[in-house]
Amino acid sequence: MAKIAATAMFAVVALIAIIAAAVSGVVAAIFGGGNSTASSQPSPAALADIPGNYLALYQQAATTCSGLDWTILAAVGKIETNHGRLNADGVHSGENFAHAGGPMQFLQPTFRWVLDQSAKQGKHIPPGGSTPPSRYNVHDAIYAASFYLCMSGADRGDLYGAIFTYNHADWYVRKVLDQANAYKAAQQSAPQQGGWTVPARGTCTSGFGSRGGEFHRGQDIAAPIGTPIVAASSGTVIDSGPATGYGLWVRIEHANGVITTYGHNEHNQVHVGQKVQVGQLIAEVGNRGESTGSHLHFQIDVGNQSVDPVAFYHDQSAPRLCGQSQLGP
């Protein structure tokens, strides 16, 4: 019995590790996590929205943490207090109902704890703020937020966990990641391999073609619920919401009349009209609609005609959509 329990436990731990690796892999792909030193450039939206002194502080403070892009800090500052512009209790003085204060909305005990823990690792807020440091001082608050996100997982590539620690809600994490994306300028260089990437890591199961008397219009990729789904190529979101059979879907229109569809999703992270970049997080794998197991239904339509995604990827010189684990249609 003990052996069975141990095996089952190992399977659970392994699965969690796989999911965590998949999530951090995608987040790293989007935000250049890990040991990447190249921070992203501000988008026009970021320059229009973020006050100059805040932008400079977000960029400087982020350099203290190898896995943290400044856009994440800026997104937290946007959502917490609109970069200090929020006119409410606890932004410039006092506390709100939850005892949070300052532009990055720290609880006083958390602020002290973060600075104490960082000091033990030799990390200190550089000169330029209050003496002693204050959560109401913009300089101090942004550096403390950077330290906090770093020690909460950003330093080891767990951006999701780091943001979740800041505010324990999945909607909050998604909102921060979404805002960070909007603050990040589009990549200067054209994406490699025809501008296409594999939308989800998993195992190719049902392929394009006849299936039990019906015609299957896409490629199924089996993956655990919550596995990130990214835009296969850059484009504009034309549908995001419930759809008959697909449960919850996202559809993206690309150049040359090509439309990609992502079905059975657990959550969608984009809205209609949104411009998305290749590789950008758009949804998470689920098991909604006419689905008999957690998977992504990935469909490509060219001029209202569904085509075989595997062949399409081959023709575009894109990465292989399905590896050796493909089980065939």
201 part of the interface to Zn ion, by CB under 5 A: no
Nearer to Zn ion, 152 or 260 (CB): 260
Nearest residue (CB) to Zn ion, 70 versus 208 = 208
Closer residue to Zn ion in complex, CB, 127/328: 328
Closest separation in Å from C-beta 281 to Zn ion = 21
Residue nearer to Zn ion on the CB measure, 146 or 205 = 205
Q: Among 252, 297, 312, 322, which residue interacts with Zn ion (rule: CB under 5 A)?
A: 297
The region of 15-23, 121-129, 248-256, 291-299 touching Zn ion under the rule CB under 5 A is 291-299
Q: Does 220 bind Zn ion (CB under 5 A)?
A: yes
Nearer to Zn ion, 201 or 297 (CB): 297
Q: Nearest distance from residue 54's CB to Zn ion, in Å? A: 45
Stretches 57-65, 95-103, 195-203, 210-218: which one binds Zn ion (CB under 5 A)?
Answer: 210-218
Residue closer to Zn ion (CB basis): 158 or 308? 308
Burial of 235 (0-12, 13-18, 19+ CB in 10 A): buried
Q: For the chain, how many residues are written?
A: 329
Say if CB 152 and CB 140 are below 8 A apart.
Answer: no
Instruction: Give the shortest CB-130-to-Zn ion separation in angstroms.
Output: 57
Query: How near is the Cβ of 224 to Zn ion at its closest, in Å?
Result: 17
In whole angstroms, the minimum distance from the beta carbon of 102 to Zn ion comes to 49
The window from 137-145, 216-224, 273-281, 310-318 that contacts Zn ion (CB under 5 A) reads 216-224
The nearer residue to Zn ion, 27 or 300, going by C-beta atoms, is 300
HEC string of the chain equals CHHHHHHHHHHHHHHHHHHHHHHHHHHHHHHCCCCCCCCCCECHHHHHHCCHHHHHHHHHHHCCCCCCCHHHHHHHHHHHHCCCCCCCCCCCCCCCCCCEECCCCEEHHHHHHHHHHHHHCCCCCCCCCCCCCCCCCHHHHHHHHHHHHHHCCHHHCCHHHHHHHHCCCHHHHHHHHHHHHHHECCCCCCCCHHHCCCCCCCEECCCCEEECCEEECCEEEECCCCCEEECCCCEEEEEEEEECCCEEEEEEECHHHEEEEEECCCEECCCCCCEECCCCEEEECECCCCCCCCEEEEEEEECCEEECHHHHHHHCCCCCCCCCCCCCC
CB of 305 to Zn ion, least distance (A): 17
* Nearest distance in Å: CB 255, Zn ion: 24
Task: Tell me the closest approach of the beta carbon of residue 214 to Zn ion, in angstroms.
Answer: 10
* Nearer to Zn ion (CB atom), residue 122 or residue 213: 213
Q: How many residues bind Zn ion (CB under 5 A)?
A: 3
Whether residue 297 contacts residue 204, with contact meaning beta carbons closer than 8 Å, is answered with no
Looking at 16-24, 186-194, 215-223, 226-234, which segment touches Zn ion (CB under 5 A)?
Answer: 215-223
Residues at the site binding Zn ion, with contacts judged by CB under 5 A: 218, 220, 297
